[in-house]
Structure 1
């Protein structure tokens, strides 16, 4: 029997329409807008100025603290502005605007590095290189990788789980990366095994990616300590807590981390970025992005430079089709609507979803009928209807007491609600207020 997590979960239509589309390389943009806050934690500190010449891969903003990350220039060019630009959150954020040097060959020569299996760096050097190269979690959370890998002495750690689930509908960036870079990902896994002194690794892949499961089983055949776990298809299995429970049967505490039960979880995209950083000293300046939607002319997966305006990706797939209602940064369940197409791709951009009027429309919100469906599907065992009511009424202390901060914002509750109540919207709002209130108390 295929493994899965036992509590809650749903089965939305997969709509993986780009699963067979190989990853193409996007043209280098004429201008990149590089935000200095592309990660959880403190924004990076700008170390360049207007009119400065920068080379590809140069640090342009240094980590601002322990939970922060370096930012590198994705192109060779000239800094034209240090400006506030609206990012995917809808708020103006500090960006470094760089005009690409059209005459610099480094901008247009993309070398496919050969597979490099020998791991020359020592554990401390590996962790330092990950820090230097600005690697963050590419599964969506963008948590600085060096922080996650900073395991305190005396902490029990016996498993590394590699997240190849990609349970969010429409998105196929991780799937394609697994198919096209499996050997490199396995070397990346071995890099972390060396850095963390680990002997046990499980690669979790949902069973709708049988080609990836088969490929990885073949690639790891002669590798000690690495195995593949085929998982039942269920959303949101890509959540860390759900994945640890599904694979190892360990229950991560509500307000805890996988490390509390001896596990570190990393996304396959992050592992590939670590491989590139360690084996080729390449900073995180590009990532795979799925650009998709049922009405697009040519939905595809792309290698995209960080800072590329989303309008460039839309143009590459044939432009916005007639009747487009909404652009989403991410997938339909956890993604957030984008206000305009000037928004740049960041380290956390896994996909751009284009949806039409029919798909974007919500039914008219009605009164809760106390059916309990939102409670039944919540993977965290919460009561979403209650959390929405508390947020709506401004009862934030009560919402905090009811564990609103443990919500992983998967959207399962909103998906199943027969009354079309905006459960997730209010819960997100409530979480933001509770977070601010808790911060003000400290």
Structure 2
């Protein structure tokens, strides 16, 4: 049984300035004007990019499948509005590099006309496997930022006996309040999504693993395009039949009282769903920190939380699950926080995916002359963007237009050995030691002392009185280590191919030699027999 009222010690973390007051007290804006064009990346999730199903010139309806998922870990992409496909090509990605990635360009027709989806009477009569298939077909991914395909996690929940589903409502990043408003305004729908997730993780061995009628194609009951079905991981039937995920815990930071009260009221009819308050401290939303605080369990290094009977989803993901199962609506829009000192009208606004940041800034009256930095996500773990001509995606929880006064000084000073970075690290690492080794290119040593356990939360950089950009060292080193491992893997693969080719050539040469020797031997035998015949005639 969960000890909901135990208070494990919180490791590390900081009390960052929140900057949430304005947006957290205003209702979600649903009147965002439909953009003339939407730029929809095919890679908005962890795993393989989606494969386009449409062609230039095709007319599509809102919610229609545009690109189907590929492989076991992937997610389909749907039309955020109705209109005509203008292009399928490479455009700048919403990433600090702005390198080109493949996108679908949709010219909207202004009608915003939905593709009609069949309604489900009682979704709890569906098998758990059907729930997963519909969630996967709707393109739902983790909306807390990780963007891992939700259906895969539901399938893993059936493979491993999950006794606790944690819904992450912490939203610990400064400025962001989209989840807060979602919980305040759509609590009943979120709770319904949580119940559907619990049902989707029930292990029902022998249940039908095929999708519902018409739902084989990446979108529940709407289209039947080849290859667009959700690919389930092998072993999806493993485990004990009939085992249910027994508890759901919705964890909300104690600075979100209205959200807590709304969620508590919505969850009150269901005894297996608990709503609890957790301390306001960044990064309380980190999965391992949250699991430890809520359940008292530690996730072993190198293991998944599902291996200890726990899985985590974001409140936005639960809401998207509700819409997908109850209404057949895929993930085509999301609530985004637009905030920062340069924003005249900060707000939480629901926008279609693929909306350019420039459109958002125009709607929110952003003063471009005051912008010192554009950030996608929160200021701690978000990414700086080079310009506003980039689209919003499934992972976009916020867009910040920060002024110079909101940014920390970049005037780096020598380390004073205060160990503040050590005390705030939630992973229990020694940031300065890792940074020192990275400076002298001793990346292997940095890995040995914990680089791979770093979550790039930015607490060390935030607290450092010397303004040392510690987290930037770790991001650089992590990328460099990954690049070296990839290069090594490529080198090893090339060596294996060369070795295989050499072995094949040796076998061919040996075979040719043996065949030549056999021919010579056969010729010699024929000559011997011929000579013997001639001798006999004499």
TM class, shorter-chain normalised? over 0.9
Partner of 1:375: 422
Partner of 1:417: 464
Give the whole-Å Cα distance in 2 for the aligned partners of 1:401 and 1:61: 41
Higher strand share: 1
Give the whole-Å Cα distance in 1 for the aligned partners of 2:471 and 2:270: 43
State the secondary structure of the residue aligned to 2:84. strand
Alignment CA distance shift 1:300-1:93 (3 Å): same
**Stretches of structure 1 lacking an aligned partner (at least 5 in a row):** none
Partner of 1:53: 59
- For residues 236-263 of structure 1, what are the alpha-carbon distances to aligned partners after superposition, in whole Å with 9 as ceiling and x for unaligned? 0011111101111111123322212210
State the secondary structure of the residue aligned to 1:23. coil
State the secondary structure of the residue aligned to 2:337. strand
Alignment CA distance shift 1:96-1:379 (3 Å): same
Partner of 1:124: 129
* C-alpha displacement of 1:382: 1.1
State the secondary structure of the residue aligned to 1:277. helix
Alignment CA distance shift 1:189-1:117 (3 Å): farther
* C-alpha displacement of 1:151: 1.9
Partner of 1:160: 165
Alignment of 1:163-178 (within 5 A): 163-178=168-183
TM-score w.r.t. the length of structure 1 is 0.94
- Are 1:101 and 2:101 counterparts? no
* C-alpha displacement of 1:369: 2.2
Give the whole-Å Cα distance in 2 for the aligned partners of 1:145 and 1:100: 28
- Are 1:75 and 2:81 counterparts? yes
Give the whole-Å Cα distance in 1 for the aligned partners of 2:7 and 2:103: 43
State the secondary structure of the residue aligned to 2:29. strand
- For residues 355-380 of structure 1, what are the alpha-carbon distances to aligned partners after superposition, in whole Å with 9 as ceiling and x for unaligned? 11121252311222222111110000
- For residues 38-92 of structure 1, what are the alpha-carbon distances to aligned partners after superposition, in whole Å with 9 as ceiling and x for unaligned? 1112111122222222221122121122111111111111111222222221322
Give the whole-Å Cα distance in 1 for the aligned partners of 2:126 and 2:85: 33
Alignment CA distance shift 1:350-1:391 (3 Å): same
Partner of 2:282: 235
**Is the 1:88–1:343 contact (alpha carbons within 8 Å) kept by the matching residues of 2?**
yes
Alignment CA distance shift 1:116-1:211 (3 Å): farther
Give the whole-Å Cα distance in 2 for the aligned partners of 1:432 and 1:409: 12
Runs of 4+ in 1 over 6 A off after TM superposition: 114-117
Partner of 1:339: 386
**Is the 1:253–1:260 contact (alpha carbons within 8 Å) kept by the matching residues of 2?**
no
**Is the 2:120–2:327 contact (alpha carbons within 8 Å) kept by the matching residues of 1?**
no
Which of these two proteins has the greater Rg computed from alpha carbons?
Answer: 2
Alignment of 1:280-299 (within 5 A): 280-299=327-346
Q: Pick from 299, 312, 319 the counterpart of residue 272 of structure 1.
A: 319
- For residues 248-287 of structure 1, what are the alpha-carbon distances to aligned partners after superposition, in whole Å with 9 as ceiling and x for unaligned? 1111123322212210100000000011111111111000
Partner of 1:149: 154
TM-score w.r.t. the length of structure 2 is 0.78
**Alignment RMSD, CA only?**
2.2
**Is the 1:24–1:302 contact (alpha carbons within 8 Å) kept by the matching residues of 2?**
yes
Q: Pick from 474, 480, 484 the counterpart of residue 427 of structure 1.
A: 474
- For residues 286-341 of structure 1, what are the alpha-carbon distances to aligned partners after superposition, in whole Å with 9 as ceiling and x for unaligned? 00100011342110101110000011111111132542211110111111111111
Count residues with an aligned counterpart: 438
Give the whole-Å Cα distance in 1 for the aligned partners of 2:27 and 2:69: 34
Give the whole-Å Cα distance in 1 for the aligned partners of 2:430 and 2:73: 31
**Is the 1:55–1:76 contact (alpha carbons within 8 Å) kept by the matching residues of 2?**
yes
Give the whole-Å Cα distance in 2 for the aligned partners of 1:120 and 1:261: 29
**Stretches of structure 2 lacking an aligned partner (at least 5 in a row):** 202-243, 490-538
State the secondary structure of the residue aligned to 1:385. helix
